[in-house]
Structure 1
Amino acid sequence: MRDSVHEFDQVRDAELDGRPVRVGDIVRSIAAGIAALIVIALIGGCLVGLIATQFFPELRGVLVVVIFRASTFVLLLVGPLSVGPAVALVIGLPAMTMLAGRKRRPILLGVVGVAALVVATVFWWIGTQLALLASLRVVQWSSGERPKVIDHYLALFWNGDTVVWSHLQAIILAVTVLVALPLVERRFRGRWTRIRRVAATTGALMALSGIVFAVHATLEYQSVLERLHG
């Protein structure tokens, strides 16, 4: 039974290769990408907020540090990571279906590249805003402070360089995903369905990127605290 399903998946992939992507395919991919973005951003933001408030700060001086901790990990970890599945589903999956079995023309690759940068930038901004909102609401709930106080402390530590790094990390992850997807497609074609190959590739890259991004966020957080104490 499993062999029959596997053969059916191979035939279905073969039929999809080289044909124009239907409107329904694009809509489903975009919907799945947006859903993944929202889920990762909200869950990641809540987790960051919970971790940042693990000591349940009572004093405003400590609350400032907690808000800085939450915003740093949202910008340098959750925001960029939320871009990976969105780019894979909105750009990568339709692009592989369109380009499979066709000659790789520079104009087509250029269009895919530009679209990926635009999608990565827009989804990075949306994911970062959602994650930041979720994390700060958790901090507010834990500390009992008013939203205006939370926003005031956030503005004190808002660093333009951190925002630029966050955007850069999102772009790097998006490019890495789009480069890795065709390589995995050629290497493992016939073993899994295309959607499984996309999911496995994106998941592995997110896991590796998550480790790198988390280390970077931790170092940035500690570096700023050391400068403040110094």
Structure 2
Amino acid sequence: MGRAIIILCSLIFTLIPLSQIEGTEKNLSSWESFITQYNWLVMDEKYELADRLLNNRLPEMEQYVQTLSPRHQDTWRQLNETPAINSETKRSEQIIVFIEIFTSSQPHEIVREKLEVLSSSIENPQNSSLELNELWENISPAVSTIYEAEVVDTAKVSFNKLTVKDSMNERKQLIAHLNKIKQTDDGIAGDAVIWTAFIVGGTILITLLYVSLRQFKSRSKIRHMVKSDNS
């Protein structure tokens, strides 16, 4: 029985990653195609078709998010339950960015790239503070999911200040805050990986201890029976 448990655990931890790799490649290709198609429709100002495309994939997105961490699920729930303040378009963009980032094999890299693009946009004085704030709001849910609230909230405050008083000094401070986010380590997601590894390792350790205990009891019982027969 004990060996059966070990073999079963080995099969589970071996077969699951293999099946995930095969399924992930197909899913990533599917999500990339969907996001590209959505962005093209928006660029062509075919907003009704873009919204229809998004709504058709929402159930599939919901299923995918259920495979992510509780923190990811909380962000997703907020995106769907909290009505957009300005328009439905804002919510749609936030959902698209969220899916684009977290269906990627390197979500941190995509976030850093988007923050870099945002920093470049801030440096351009032709971009208004309202436009910059809109760009930030599109990516902020995903950024808040990955990084600690403290560094993200500081950037949010700077964006609010910029909308009140747009100046080069405020823009420089805002870029500095975004750089601080980019320079942060893997943040919450990295801690989640460590925690997951700890849980998996702990489960294996408990299983091994259980098997060892069963074997010890069995051997003790056999020795006791042998002694009884000899006497």
TM-score normalized by the length of structure 1? 0.29
- Structure index of larger Rg: 2
TM-score normalized by the length of structure 2? 0.29
Higher RCO (CA 8 Å, separation ≥ 6 residues) = 1
